[in-house]
Amino acid sequence: MNYNIRIEKNKNPKQKPDESKLSFGKVFTDHMFVMDYNQTDGWNDPRIVPYGPLSMDPSTCVFHYGQGIFEGLKAYHTVNDKIVLFRPEKNIQRMNISNERLCIPKLDEDFTVEALKELVRVERDWVPKSEGTSLYIRPFIIATDPFLGVHPAHTYKFIIILSPSGAYYPGGINPVKIYVEDQYVRAVRGGTGYAKTMANYAISLKAQDEAEKKGYVQVLWLDGVEKKYIEEVGAMNVFFKIKGEVITPALTGSILPGITRDSVIAMLKKLNIPVTERKITIDELIQAANDGDLEEAFGTGTAAVISPMGELSFKGKSYSINDNKIGPVSQKLYDSLTGIQYGKIEDPFNWITSID
Ligand code: PLP
Ligand code: COI
């Protein structure tokens, strides 16, 4: 393939948003990266072009059968005035795992990381500087055949868009209220839970909507077969600290293998805090809460960073965690992770990649 990325500059750049008012995923930059796939040329014509609408035939198969996947990562403006990415190669590896599950042709991972960096370089002035803000990066792939048969497409578009963003939850790092979902399920083994497919999110909307109407921020999913084992939250993996040990559900195929999850496990090990990946039932968690042994609970994700859970609701009963305050381990992890990302502390894991 042609590794030269063509750049077409936007002649009408937008005004940058007021950083103090940034929320999540509402403002987009002046350019986007686009690359096409067809069976003759493979992935071809990589280009950075002005951000704008796509024109597609109404029969385009992604509209009908959802053959599409995405990723989410961030660029940070460090305290030393550098623009850096956090483990971008991991997102691109996961993208190929998602591609494989949805019959989408794989990307060249090294090239894709370079393309992502090139786009961020073009848009570097869009990376916000204020505390807690970042440039959210959304790569995604859609199937583009104009065809109504249920069949893997022969043509695709890979696009990367960028969004200067603030906190994912309006409350920032304040503890969130979580609803344990015991009716709807998100994924089953053999399904697509481990991949970042668009359909996984479509399927989650009803439970999320009902939980929000009851005053909860997100749902905690249980396994799709027995509704017994804890899986993850809508946009985060989960960790519980019970009697000094940090436990996170093992990756069984129906959970997204989060990059923040992987990073948190590594940080806990370095801090000599016991951490275990294993199956954990909702009954065990509720028992620990009742016995006063549930010391902390938090979610991890790119968008949400480290998000303490202040309250869990299960079968009509509410359980407060650590008096609805952020616990010391969650705080330490938040400070270490964001410290590395914003260049405030050393990066002993080599997770940071500068775009220059
Ligand atoms: N689980 C789900 C369902 C998610 O959407 C996300 C966010 O991407 C995560 C977990 C956390 O993954 P990561 O840490 O790679 O952002
Ligand atoms: C992320 O954390 O990057 C996500 O993709 C979560 C959500 C916005 C879907």
CATH number at residue 106: 3.30.470.10
Ligand 2 contacts CB of residue 297 (under 6 A): no
Q: Which of 137, 237, 337 to mutate to test the pocket of ligand 1 (most atoms within 8 A of CB)?
A: 237
Report which ligand 1 atom has the smallest distance to the Cα of 261.
Answer: 14
Single residue among 122, 142, 165 that ends a domain in this structure: 165
Residue 31 within a domain: yes
Single residue among 165, 200, 215 that ends a domain in this structure: 165
* pLDDT surpasses 60 at 2: no
Centroid of ligand 2 to alpha carbon of 222 (angstroms)? 19
- What percentage of the chain carries pLDDT values higher than 90? 95
Residue 351 within a domain: no
Single residue among 111, 134, 165 that ends a domain in this structure: 165
Residue with the smallest CA separation from ligand 1 atom 2 is: 235
Q: Which helix (H) or strand (E) holds 332?
A: helix 328-341
CB neighbour list of residue 25: distance below 8 Å, 6 or more residues apart: 136, 138, 163, 165
CB neighbour list of residue 231: distance below 8 Å, 6 or more residues apart: 186, 187, 193, 220, 221, 222, 223, 249, 254, 255
Residue 348 within a domain: no
129 and 81 in one domain? Answer: yes
> pLDDT by residue (tens digit) across 299-353?
999 998 999 999 999 999 999 999 999 999 999 999 999 999 999 999 999 999 9
Going by the DSSP 8-state scheme, the letter that residue 98 receives in this structure is: H
The answer to whether the beta carbons of residues 233 and 180 sit under 8 Å apart is no
Centroid of ligand 2 to alpha carbon of 168 (angstroms)? 9
100 and 214 in one domain? Answer: no
pTM for the structure as a whole: 0.97
Ligand 1, CB within 6 Å, residue ranges:
72, 232, 235-237, 256, 258-261, 300-302
Number of domains in the chain: 2
Helix (H, G, I), strand (E, B) or coil at 319: strand
C-alpha 238/C-alpha 269 separation (Å) is 17
The answer to whether the beta carbons of residues 204 and 219 sit under 8 Å apart is yes
233 and 314 in one domain? Answer: yes
Q: Could you tell me the residue range of the domain that residue 287 belongs to?
A: 176-341
- First CA to last CA across the chain, in angstroms? 24
> pLDDT by residue (tens digit) across 112-131?
999 999 999 999 999 999 98
272 and 241 in one domain? Answer: yes
Burial pattern 47-67, b for ≥16 Cβ within 10 A else e, equals bbeebeeeeeeeebbbeebbb
Residue 352 within a domain: no
* pLDDT surpasses 60 at 7: yes
Centroid of ligand 2 to alpha carbon of 337 (angstroms)? 17
Say which CATH number the domain at 231 has. 3.20.10.10
Ligand nearest the Cα of residue 168 is 2
16 and 150 in one domain? Answer: yes
* pLDDT surpasses 90 at 174: no
Residue 38 within a domain: yes
321 and 273 in one domain? Answer: yes
